[in-house]
Amino acid sequence: MEEELILKRLLDLSKRSYNNNTFEFSDFLTIQEQDELAVRKKDFAGSRFELSGGYELAERRMVRFGNEEEFGYSVDFPISCIEISPISEKFASTCTHRDFLGALMSLGLERRIFGDIIVKDKKAYLFCEERFASFVCDNLVSVGRNQVHCEICTFPEENVKKEREKIAIQVNSLRADAVAAKVCKLSRGAVLPLFAQKHVILNGQTLENKDKNLKEGDIFSIRGYGKYVVGESTGLSKKGKENVNIYKYM
pLDDT at 245: 94
Query: Do 181 and 225 lie in a common domain?
Result: yes
Per the model's pLDDT, the better-predicted residue between 42 and 91 turns out to be 91
pLDDT digits (tens, 9 = 90+) for 80-138: 999 999 999 888 999 999 999 999 999 999 999 999 999 988 999 999 999 999 999 99
Please name every residue paired with 175 in a beta bridge, in sequence order, or none if there are none.
213
- Burial of 212 from C-beta contacts in 10 A (0-12 / 13-18 / 19+): middle
Own/partner pairs for 88-96, CB < 8 Å, 24+ apart?
88/146, 88/147, 89/122, 92/122, 92/146, 93/122, 93/144, 93/145, 93/146, 94/121, 94/122, 95/119, 95/122, 95/124, 95/143, 95/144, 95/146
Find all residues with CB under 8 Å of 86, minimum gap 6, and list them. Answer: 92, 122, 123, 143, 146, 147, 148, 149
- Choosing from 160, 194, 228, the residue where a domain stops is 160
Q: Are residues 131 and 170 in the same domain?
A: no
Predicted pLDDT of residue 36: 78
Mean pLDDT computed over 167-171: 94
> Residue 1 pLDDT more than 70?
no
Is it the case that residue 40 has pLDDT exceeding 80?
no
pLDDT band of residue 7 (cuts 50, 70, 90) is confident
pLDDT digits (tens, 9 = 90+) for 202-217: 887 889 899 999 999 8
Calculate mean pLDDT across residues 132-158: 94
Instruction: Give the number of domains in the chain.
Output: 3
Per residue in 14-37, pLDDT (tens digit) is 999 989 989 999 999 987 788 778
Tell me: do 44 and 89 sit in the same domain.
no
* Beta-sheet strand order (sheet of 205-206): 164-171, 242-249, 226-236, 219-222, 200-202, 205-206
Q: Which of 160, 195, 230 is the last residue of a domain?
A: 160
- Structural domain boundaries enclosing 203: 163-249
Quickly list DSSP for 38-93: HHTGGGGTTS-EEEE-SSTT-SSEEEEE--HHHHS------EEEEEEEESSGGGPP
**Does 95 lie in the same domain as 154?**
yes
Q: What one-character DSSP code corresponds to residue 172?
A: S
Residues 143 and 208 in one domain: no
pTM across the whole model:
0.74
> What does pLDDT average to over the chain?
90
Residue 86 shares a structural domain with residue 67: no
Domain at 106, CATH number: 3.30.70.330
Kindly state the average pLDDT of the residues 53-72: 88
pLDDT at 250: 65
**What mean pLDDT do residues 220-232 have?**
89
Residue at a domain's end among 141, 160, 179: 160
Q: Give yes or no: residues 176 and 135 share one domain.
A: no
Residue 156: the pLDDT is 86
Q: What DSSP character marks residue 240?
A: S
